[in-house]
Amino acid sequence: MIESDELLSIRAAELYYEDDKTQDEIGSILRLTRWKVGRLLAQAKADGFIRIEIVHPRARRLPIERRLRETCGLADAIVVSTAGVDGEDEVQSRVAQAAADYLTALRPVPRTLGISWGRTLHEISLHLEDGWAAGVDVVQINGGVSLTRRAGTAATTAVTIAQKGRGQAALLPSPAILEHRETKRAIESDRAVGAVLAHARAADAYLFSAGPADESSVLVDSGYLTADDVAGLVRRGAVGDVVGRYIDATGAVVDHELDERTVGLPLESLRAATLSIAVITGAAKHAVARAVVGSGLCTVLVTDDGTAENLITTQARTSEGQRGSA
């Protein structure tokens, strides 16, 4: 009898989802009541015989979002589908659009938004609609004056987000990393720079991404570090950077001397924030995504389903290991 019901549920699902039959029509075909058809369809879904996939570029993976929140202790999670995606650039574009949608829907609207910079943040600024908010001021939370001509998007990103949100932008007029600690201290003690940093510390919400610990990092592209510098950081345990600060798998800074030459908010400011939104996508950033989420650097994560599944699986294994050693 159980096998018969299972076969009926599959047949009902085929007629409903593939042949576009109504439940009444399926009842007539299978000689069942409409109530029985509905129960068979629900059972087929519960047993995993039905897999529904929404392939619109702005579609979200709600069941994965729920699991990610529950497994990793996040206040919220936004996970986009990679179904039908052609390449990593399209995945990043989808995630950036999801982050822009999330910002637009935020209630209450943050009066001051602190942002980092880089390729992901720049793309978010392009996806935001003009008028996404009515009076959001934007402040840079780490230095972003480029040392090359290739990656000078920090100021442009902040100004674009602010203008589209009908607000003002407070720019941090400093490189991200300086050569000497004394220079960094002098710059941060400057009245204008100090005022921007104070404004950043008082922000209602933060929006940032994370970079991989390899030569593709925007910090390498911007001329702050060389590929050899990053390789040295990796040997010391670095998995990526957050607001210009390289962290290990536990979220700890790996090079304190470099950290002391980095201009901007410390990581503790992100951990202490009520709303801290990380936008991280791609296989190359799985390790740094785990470090960001695991160390409490964000309360909200916007990502792709592959990264989300990696986080869920890793956390589940960690929890099993902890239970086994208890």
Rg (CA), the chain: 24
Number of structural domains (the chain) is 2
Residues 29 and 141 in one domain: no
For 20: left if phi > 0, alpha if psi spans -120 to 50, otherwise beta; the answer is left
Range of the domain at 9: 2-46
Amino acid symbol at 226: T
Residues 138 and 226 in one domain: yes
The structure's pTM equals: 0.83
Residues 172 and 252 in one domain: yes
Residues 41 and 112 in one domain: no
Q: Per-residue pLDDT tens for 128-157?
A: 999 999 999 999 999 887 665 444 478 999
Spatial distance between the Cα atoms of 283 and 257, rounded to a whole number of angstroms: 29
Residues 69 and 37 in one domain: no
For the chain, report the end-to-end CA distance as a whole number of angstroms: 44
Q: Contact 153/242 with Cβ under 8 angstroms?
A: no
Q: Per-residue pLDDT tens for 312-321?
A: 999 877 766 6
Q: Per-residue pLDDT tens for 72-114?
A: 999 999 999 887 777 888 999 999 999 999 999 999 999 999 9
Q: Per-residue pLDDT tens for 25-44?
A: 999 999 999 999 999 999 88
Q: How far is CA 13 from CA 19, 33, 44, 62, in A?
A: 9, 15, 7, 22
Q: Which of 43, 44, 42, 16 is nearest to 30 (CA)?
A: 16
Helix locations, 150-277, DSSP H: 154-164, 181-189, 191-201, 218-221, 227-235, 256-259, 267-271
